[in-house]
Structure 1
């Protein structure tokens, strides 16, 4: 009896030292969905870019610039200061939102005057980056691709999913974080 218990113990000891064999997944991910998603996004961005280039071509009265942030803009009115807002500065601004057919979605009368502490609060990416390139008193029209605004979600109200937008923004005041800026 002692020998059989001893043999069972040795057998269990030997079996416990064997490396586990990894299990193979039942379903292998081919990456097809990811490739399809990337392809769809590239197509969407290209279509939006072409739409904006057509808008720019038709608007011969304004000179549009391409920003390093991935959108286009033109100055409707330039302010008379050289200072650009920096981290922590609080800007006061108003804006109107239009679709690419220039139909108003939201007006500044219903939005009111907004305040934003540069890079310290959450607002949509396009507007956040657009405010950084404005001077006090500037009135700028921005052409924002959907991925810079509300993207796949829309705003759950008037802005649809993947909707490129035109923003007309007036930067009223820049309150500097401190006077050493």
Structure 2
């Protein structure tokens, strides 16, 4: 009985000891994130160098947007009273998509005439921001770096991952949202 009491007392005293945190078996550093940042910077530098060569070569006067892409007007409306699309407006447009080498990826016939409710439906970010710059009747050619186009995943069909694009867009009409 004495031995049993000593054993129980030892267990009770041993269980009162505070738990020590275990040290991790492996330690992680920020190396993956650092490598990812370095890869993305290198990708951006390559894309911007390619885009600059195209802009120098084709002779058009490009405008740098605040949203990280470049564009020029094929057809520009000289009517100042025409409005650009606002949130909720329904716009009708058509466009094509080319690679930076000029190879047609999707034609206007492939993509068909599009209706889009401004900022209420999904559209790749470069085109969404580009449409906001346009007036009805204008045709604009945009050059989108990959992060403003389909990004890392592409479109899973014809547009590869991290592929910059050239889009020629015609804004046909704007139907203003009546609540604006």
Give the TM-score taking structure 2 as reference length: 0.88
Structure 2 vs 1, CA of residues 16 and 124 (structure 1 numbering), >3 Å: closer, same or farther? farther
Structure 2 equivalent of residue 22 of structure 1: 21
Please identify, of 40-49 and 21-30, the stretch whose mean Cα deviation from structure 2 is larger.
21-30
Give the CA deviation at 1:82.
Answer: 3.4
Map of 1:1-181 to 2, 5 A cutoff?
Answer: 8=8, 12=12, 18-60=17-59, 62-79=60-77, 80=79, 81-178=81-178, 181=180
Give the CA deviation at 1:140.
Answer: 0.4
Could you give the per-residue CA deviations for residues 124-166 of structure 1, whole angstroms, max 9, x where no partner exists? 1111111111111110000000111111111111111111100
For residues 57 and 91 of structure 1, what CA distance do their matches in structure 2 show? 32
Structure 2 vs 1, CA of residues 140 and 25 (structure 1 numbering), >3 Å: closer, same or farther? same
For residues 126 and 17 of structure 1, what CA distance do their matches in structure 2 show? 62
For residues 145 and 161 of structure 2, what CA distance do their matches in structure 1 show? 12
For residues 145 and 18 of structure 2, what CA distance do their matches in structure 1 show? 54
Task: Provide the aligned C-alpha RMSD in A.
Answer: 2.2
For residues 68 and 45 of structure 2, what CA distance do their matches in structure 1 show? 12
Number of aligned residue pairs? 178
Give the TM-score taking structure 1 as reference length: 0.88
